[in-house]
Amino acid sequence: MKISLIPDALRPIAQKIEADERISDQDALQLYRSTDLNALGMMASAVRERKNGNVATYILNRYINYSNICVLSCQFCAFAAKKRDAHAFESSIDEIVAAVEEALVSGITEVHMVGGLHPTLNKDWYLELLTRLRALDPQLQLKAFTAIEIRHMARRIFKTSIAETLAILREAGLGSLTGGGAEIFDPAVRDELCRGKENAAEWLEVHRTWHEMGGRSTCTMLYGHIETLEQRVDHLRQLRELQDETHGFTGFIPFAFEPGEGTVLSHIPHATAFDQLRNLAVSRIYLDNIEHLTAYWVSMGLPLAQVSLSYGVDDLHGTIMREKIFHMAGVTTPEEQTVETLRHAIREAGRDPVQRDSYYNHVTPAKSAAAPEADRTLVCA
């Protein structure tokens, strides 16, 4: 990073970055208020280069949204439904197992599985689902459930502590937790956005407990709706503090809010490309103790995700395969990507493409379907 190319107002922050010093909340707020996107990208790239070199990663994964039936009624959510709603769905265990079995042929190494807070699914259903999925391939990583789902299971289904619920799920096959449900931690935002959903302390407690048990998870932020820049910084601060404590987060994945048609927040404009790149850059600089930053191409679109590799991002997520939550909110991106498309996007951005596992460890692709030919698409029913 050439400090001389950084504007005077941001140079003290750039000097902290160059010295590998932690920036303050006030520094982060100053970066969020900056309109010099080139300078932000330069500083974020310096952090990315130090942490991850010139590598950009991707994973072969299959998304499973097992049901959208949910007891909550979050204002922003176009995914959740009540049982009587026309768009409600619920997959059977047999259907889920068959979908994953088919995806295994394409070389996936991870199943990413989340759903709504279902009112009637019982303990045996969740345990049978995990057990049968693990039986398909003991090496397959089952990354499943948000902290909100875990608290729902503990309170209403397993009727035991968070730690005991997590232990039971891990014994059945749970490998890692997803980062969903964090939204924005500020209580005023949560009260308006998702009243009734667990608060920040409760979300953080689930991840803290899981980390103390030796588990790993990702963390997220849903931005670009009613939150202020100060509330974004507060959200990042709480993630950084928990990471200082547990070191259990493998990566950070921010999502731009998708104003779903028919929701009370449908009038909010989608986050601009400028804001998305700035948010990624500030996140990379501020979250100095989280090693990886993922651009979620489902929300951003692959072209912008590719550009984000110059704004601190070192991971383009994965093949995804059948994502529902953002698509039900109205995004028009593909439901999946081929391996070759992801690798090509990474190469075009000047990075070296490397396949990873669920913990961001680099892996060697299998010579079978895990490294398909350029014109082959990873598909799953």
Comparing 378 with 187, the larger pLDDT belongs to 187
Query: Residue 346's pLDDT is what?
Result: 97
Q: Is the per-residue pLDDT at 325 higher than 70?
A: no
Question: Per-residue pLDDT tens for 55-86?
Answer: 999 999 999 998 887 766 655 555 566 667 76
Q: Per-residue pLDDT averaged across 89-102, rounded?
A: 91
Is residue 115 pLDDT above 90, yes or no?
no
Query: What mean pLDDT comes out for the span 365-376?
Result: 41
What average pLDDT does range 214-239 have in this prediction?
97
Q: What is the pLDDT of residue 262?
A: 60
Give the per-residue pLDDT at 377: 29
Full set of structural domains in the chain with CATH? 55-228+237-271+293-355 (3.20.20.70)
Contacts of 110 (CB under 8 A, 6+ apart): 59, 60, 61, 62, 140, 141, 142, 143, 318, 357, 358
Question: Above 90 in pLDDT, residue 322?
Answer: no
pLDDT tens per residue across span 138-157: 999 999 999 999 999 999 99
pLDDT of residue 80: 60
Please give the mean pLDDT across all residues of the chain.
Answer: 88
Confidence check: pLDDT of 283 > 70: yes
Of the listed ranges 8-12, 141-145, 213-217, 261-265, the one predicted with least confidence: 261-265
pLDDT at 326 over 70: no
| pLDDT tens digits along 238-266 | 999 999 999 999 999 999 988 766 666 77
Residues 6+ apart with CB under 8 A from 150: 162, 165, 166, 169, 177, 206
Is residue 317 over pLDDT 50? Answer: yes
Q: Is the pLDDT of residue 89 over 60?
A: yes
On the question of pLDDT at 300 being above 50, the answer is: yes
Percent of the chain surpassing pLDDT 90: 72
Q: What is the pTM of this model?
A: 0.89
> How confident is residue 192, by pLDDT bands cut at 50, 70 and 90?
confident
